[in-house]
């Protein structure tokens, strides 16, 4: 009888090593976790059959040509690199990130060049982006016009 009693009293679980391991894991995950701030753009997609919207004279227009070249407010950029687009936006905005941006892309422009333009707009810190479209009858008129 004395032997069974001694065995039951001697069984204990030491929680200290378990707590140490949990704290080490917590510290490891806290140190190795990276927090990134994702850029978010508010994209206003106008309806294709809507009335013409008046563009604000203080807005910035980015034109993406068929060959992927960019123009900012009518001035062509020297190349189609992202860094050039970002620098052009910084110069044109003079630090005002609240200006609305109108992105006008040719229908034949590559998707990558439009996404690059949107990426440059987001990296620069602009949040007001509108994408210009044509009404369907404007497209038909342009297609039927003599060349």
What is the rounded CA–CA span in Å between residue 108 and residue 105?
8
**Based on the structure, what is the number of domains in the chain?**
2
Q: What are the C-alpha distances in Å from 7 to residues 4, 14, 15, 16, 120?
A: 5, 16, 20, 22, 72
Q: Based on the domain organization, do 17 and 76 belong to the same domain?
A: no
Q: In this structure, are 109 and 89 located in the same domain?
A: yes
Rounded CA separation 91/86 (Å): 9
16 and 49 fall within a common domain: no
pTM of the model: 0.56
For residue range 87-98, what is the model confidence (pLDDT) as tens digits? 999 988 888 888
Instruction: Give residue 72's domain range.
Output: 42-144
Q: Rounded to whole angstroms, how far apart are CA atoms 140 and 49?
A: 13
What is the per-residue pLDDT across 34-80, written as a single tens digit (0 to 9) for each? 776 655 545 444 455 555 555 556 889 998 888 888 989 888 889 88
52-56, 81-85, 139-143: lowest mean pLDDT where? 139-143
Alpha-carbon dihedral angle through residues 44, 47, 50, 54, given to the nearest 10 degrees: 20
């Amino acid at each position: 009888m004395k032997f069974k009693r001694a065995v039951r009293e001697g069984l204990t679980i030491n929680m200290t090593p378990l707590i140490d391991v949990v704290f080490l894991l917590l510290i490891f995950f806290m140190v190795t976790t990276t927090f990134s701030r994702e850029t978010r753009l508010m994209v206003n997609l106008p309806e294709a059959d809507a009335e013409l919207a008046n563009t604000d004279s203080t807005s910035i227009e980015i034109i993406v040509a068929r060959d992927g070249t960019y123009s900012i407010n009518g001035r062509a950029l020297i190349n189609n690199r992202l860094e050039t687009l970002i620098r052009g936006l910084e110069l044109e905005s003079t630090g005002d990130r609240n200006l609305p941006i109108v992105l006008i892309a040719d229908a034949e422009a590559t998707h990558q060049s439009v996404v690059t333009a949107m990426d440059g707009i987001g990296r620069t810190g602009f949040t007001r982006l509108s994408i210009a479209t044509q009404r369907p009858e404007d497209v038909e008129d342009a297609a039927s016009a003599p060349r």
